[in-house]
Amino acid sequence: MMFTYKFAMVFNYAQMVMNLFLFVLFAEMFGDRMLTILAPFGGDYIQYILVGSIGWGYLWSAMGAASGSIQQEMMRGTFEPIFLTPTSPFVIVIAYTVWGLFMGTISMVIFLFFGITVFDVSITGNVAMGIVLMGLSVLMMVGFGLMVAGLNVFLKQVGSLVSVVQGIAIFLCGVYFPLDVLPEILQPVGKILPMYYSIIGLRLALSDQATMDQIMGYFWMLLVLALVALSLGVLLFKKGLNRARKEGTLAYY
């Protein structure tokens, strides 16, 4: 599909780059590149936007691939025949997830290229811990993806719910601006969302302002969230499959 619809693929990446430029140019109106409110993350708002874009895009590449895998098979009419083969539905989800992460990696490389060459951003801090935190975050999002995939098998068409959650979370997880600029009543809500700890942990790991103790706090938080999300994801996915089997709705979308 990717090679068949080449223009769609190219313009998809072009749109992501334009979104990055949009946020950066919007922030340029305020003049000073170094902002006091971003001091805990190094102060550079372009680096802030770049890291947020990379982290957010990578998380939802994993989530979207895992949650949409079964939905795509059902829409194409290939989901039920899979059960006639030795292939496990979990293999299908994992394969889609690996593909999603591959495409997410391409996005990350494009963002880094423009950030470093055009906006003169330098990625500092503990890069190794940043990779570890993103790895745990991806596992957590795969767990959420399995939950949605299980609901898709049984309830059908729950993709709109994912879009709503993504739209709300992007404002509450500090992706493009810190939580401090939100009304005080909304700030605690953001800290309830698991994605918040992924984005903030990545920012701290890639800044020179955080101590190793601070970074390790996010490491343990994301490790627990990843284990819980994966356990619940596997459970709900199995439950959805079994329920659809009993009701004979595997082939319906």
pLDDT category at 241 given cuts 50, 70, 90 is confident
pLDDT category at 252 given cuts 50, 70, 90 is low
Confidence at residue 117, expressed as pLDDT on a 0 to 100 scale: 84
Q: What is the pTM of this model?
A: 0.83
Give per-residue pLDDT as tens, 172-185.
Answer: 888 888 888 888 88
Confidence at residue 158, expressed as pLDDT on a 0 to 100 scale: 67
Q: Which tokens belong to 129? A: 């811990």
Q: Which tokens belong to 155? A: 């309830």
Give per-residue pLDDT as tens, 198-233.
Answer: 999 998 898 887 888 989 999 999 999 999 999 999
Residues composing the chain: 253
Mean pLDDT, residues 41-46 taken together:
81
**Phi/psi class of residue 156: alpha, beta or left (left: φ > 0; alpha: ψ in -120 to 50)?**
left
Mean pLDDT, residues 33-37 taken together:
77
The b-or-e profile of 17-26 (16+ CB within 10 A means b, else e) is beebeebbee
When mean pLDDT is compared across 74-88, 121-135, 218-232, the lowest value belongs to 74-88
Confidence at residue 30, expressed as pLDDT on a 0 to 100 scale: 67
Give per-residue pLDDT as tens, 184-197.
Answer: 888 888 888 999 99
Confidence at residue 31, expressed as pLDDT on a 0 to 100 scale: 67
Confidence at residue 221, expressed as pLDDT on a 0 to 100 scale: 95
Minimal CA–CA distance to 27: which of 53, 52, 57, 48?
Answer: 48
What are the backbone dihedrals phi and psi of residue 2, each rounded to the nearest 5 degrees, phi first? -65, -45
Minimal CA–CA distance to 132: which of 123, 143, 140?
Answer: 140
Q: Which tokens belong to 178? A: 């810190």
In contact, 150 and 241? CB cutoff 8 Å? yes
CB neighbourhood size of 174 (10 A): 25
Mean pLDDT, residues 156-161 taken together:
68
